[in-house]
Structure 1
Amino acid sequence: MNDSPSPRTTEAARPQDFAHVRDWVFDLDNTLYPRHTNLFQQIDERITAFVSNLLSLEAGEAKTLQKKFYRDYGTTLRGLMSEHQVDPDAFLEFVHDIDYSWVKADAALGEEIKALPGRKFIFTNGDRGHAERTARQLGILDHFDDIFDIVAAGLVPKPAAATYDKFMGLHRIDAAHAAMFEDLARNLEVPKRLGMRTVLIVPANLETTFGEIWEQEGRDGDHIDFITDDLAAFLRSVRD
Structure 2
Amino acid sequence: MTQETTLMDSAQYDRVFFFDIDNCLYPPNSGIMHLMKERIYAFGRESGLDEASVVDTCETYLRDYGLSVRGLIMHHKIDPTEFNAKVDGSIPLEDFIKPDAELRTMLKAIKTRRWAFTNAGKDHAYRVLKCLAVDDLFEGVTYCDYTEPDFPCKPERMAYNRAMSDAGVSDVKKCYFADDSTKNVEAALQLGWTAVWVWPSVDDTRIDKAIPQIKSIHQLPEVLPQLFK
Whether TM exceeds 0.5 here: the answer is: yes
Which one-letter code corresponds to 1:29 in the other structure? Answer: D
Higher relative contact order (CA 8 A, sep 6+): 1
1:138-191 CA-to-partner distances (Å, cap 9, x unmatched) read 111111110111019942211111121122123222210111111111112332
Alpha carbons 1:37, 1:102 under 8 Å: kept = yes
**Residue 194 of structure 1: aligned partner:** 191
Aligned pairs for 1:121-140 (under 5 A) are 121-140=115-134
- Rounded Cα–Cα distance in structure 1 between residues aligned with 2:173 and 2:124: 29
Matching of residues 72-111 of structure 1 within 5 Å: 72-96=64-88, 97-100=90-93, 101-111=95-105
Q: Does 1:36 align with 2:35?
A: no
Q: Return the offset for 1:20.
A: 9.5
C-alpha displacement at 1:56, in angstroms?
4.3
Instruction: Tell me which amino acid in the other structure corresponds to 1:226.
Output: P
Deviation at 1:236, TM superposition (A): 5.5
Shift of 1:87: 2.1
TM-score of the pair, normalised by structure 2: 0.83
Corresponding position of 2:63: 71
Matched residue SS, 2:47 = helix
Q: State yes or no: 1:180 paired with 2:177.
A: yes
Report the CA distance between 1:93 and its aligned residue.
2.1
Secondary structure in structure 2 of the residue aligned to 1:29: coil
User: Runs in 1 of length 4+ with deviation above 4 angstroms?
Assistant: none
TM superposition shift of 1:217: 6.4
Which of the residues 10, 15, 27 maps onto 1:22? Answer: 15
Residues 194-213 of structure 1 mapped to structure 2, 5 A cutoff:
194-204=191-201
Task: State the partner residue of 1:119.
Answer: 113
How many Å apart are 1:51 and its aligned residue? 0.7
* SS of equivalent to 1:117: coil
TM-score by length of 1: 0.79
Which structure 1 segments of 5+ residues have no match? 1-18, 208-215
The number of equivalent residue pairs is 210
Name the counterpart of 1:168.
164
In the alignment, is the contact (CA less than 8 A) between 1:104 and 1:138 conserved in 2? yes
Paired with 1:235 and 1:90, the residues of 2 have a C-alpha distance of: 40
Hey, what does 1:15 align to over in structure 2? none
Matched residue of 1:147: which SS? strand
| Alpha-carbon distance in 2 for matches of 1:36, 1:122 | 21
Q: 1:67 to 1:153 in 2, by over 3 A?
A: same
Q: Which runs of 5+ in 2 are unaligned?
A: 1-11
Q: Hey, what's the Cα distance between the residues in 1 that align with 2:49 and 2:163?
A: 36
Greater shift in the superposed pair: 83-92 or 42-51: 83-92
